[in-house]
Amino acid sequence: MLDMERVGHAFLGRTVLSRVELTVERAEVVALVGPSGSGKSTLVHIAAGLIEPAEGRVTRNWRRQAMVFQEPRLLPWATALDNIAYPLRIAGQSRRAARAAAEDAAARVALDPADLGKYPVELSGGMRQRTAIARALVAAPDFIHFDEPFTALDVALRRRMQDLVIAAAATGDFAALFVTHDLAEAARIAHRVAVLDASGRGILGARRVPGTPGARTEAEIFALVQGWLTADPLFRRIHDIDERRAS
């Protein structure tokens, strides 16, 4: 679904990414992790076509894509239902068809029908993020980019949002690139975890996550993450921070 070959990028002459090689297969969720400032968000923006790479080639084999950002980025003047329906409306669907599809997408993320007439300012943080996920699902994309979508949420709400993504991805209808700084989230949600180098030198390596997303127990996830952090050199610098670099 996605093939990135020797992709590189720089901001104002400063190299952020270099020689990135990354693939995402059909119906696969790949978590992209790395130290703060390693270029995770830049890479997912390149994958989505929001940024043109300075070098390399990106092959996109999907029909439709969607993106979920860290902030919900909802239209403040539109209701939750109209926000979800927005991609279909700008694609030319009738209001009735778009709203029906939006209601179905809202049900997939367990949004209460009573909340669909509310405006973003009236919704909680979790409800706004559910609305953003429903908006991504409504056009039936076969690839979704997630750019640290749950960072600002508390632990319990983050778990619920992860479960929504796991359940949606389990249908096999889409592949995904999921950027996160949380290894436990990566282990819980993904089929494979790719690690970015701290100095922008590309993908250091990847690890396939045992088992199936949604079927791994909390004990298994905890043990896996501890094993990565203590015994796997690929994850040695995962928590390094370099605030001078782009994210």
Task: Say which CATH number the domain at 148 has.
Answer: 3.40.50.300
Q: What is the pLDDT of residue 244?
A: 46
Is the pTM here over 0.85, yes or no? yes
Last residue of a domain, one of 121, 141, 161: 141
Residue 85 and residue 128 in one domain: yes
Q: What is the pLDDT of residue 172?
A: 79
Are 181 and 29 in contact, with CB atoms under 8 Å apart? no
Encoded tokens for 68? 């979920």
Residues 6+ apart with CB under 8 A from 165: 29, 133, 146, 176, 178, 189
Residue 52 and residue 161 in one domain: yes
Are 176 and 143 in contact, with CB atoms under 8 Å apart? yes
Residue 50 and residue 164 in one domain: yes
Distance from C-alpha of 107 to C-alpha of 110, rounded to nearest angstrom: 5
Please state the domain count of the chain.
2
Residue 85 and residue 172 in one domain: no
Per-residue pLDDT of the chain (247 residues; tens, 9 = 90+): 999 999 999 887 788 898 999 999 999 999 999 888 788 999 999 999 999 999 999 999 999 999 999 889 999 999 999 999 999 999 999 999 999 999 999 998 889 999 999 999 999 988 999 999 999 999 999 999 999 988 877 888 888 889 888 988 888 789 999 999 899 999 999 999 999 987 777 899 999 999 999 899 999 999 999 999 999 999 987 876 554 444 4
Residue 89 and residue 132 in one domain: yes
Q: Please report, for residues 26, 83, 181, 211, 233, the alpha-carbon distance to residue 241 in angstroms, rounded to integers and kept in the order given.
A: 33, 36, 11, 31, 17
Residues 6+ apart with CB under 8 A from 24: 1, 2, 30, 143, 175, 176, 177
Residue 93 and residue 127 in one domain: yes
Residue 159 and residue 123 in one domain: no
Residue 243 and residue 151 in one domain: yes
Residue 208, φ and ψ in degrees, nearest 5: -80, 135
Asked if the structure places residue 81 within a domain, the reply is yes
Q: What is the pLDDT of residue 242?
A: 53
Q: Which DSSP state fits 166?
A: H
Q: What is the pLDDT of residue 151?
A: 81
**Which amino acid is residue 135, in one-letter code?**
R
Asked if the structure places residue 137 within a domain, the reply is yes
Q: What is the pLDDT of residue 211?
A: 92
Last residue of a domain, one of 102, 117, 141: 141
Residue 131 and residue 227 in one domain: no
Q: What is the pLDDT of residue 246?
A: 43
Q: Which domain holds residue 51?
A: 1-63+143-247
Are 245 and 198 in contact, with CB atoms under 8 Å apart? no
Residue 168 and residue 50 in one domain: yes
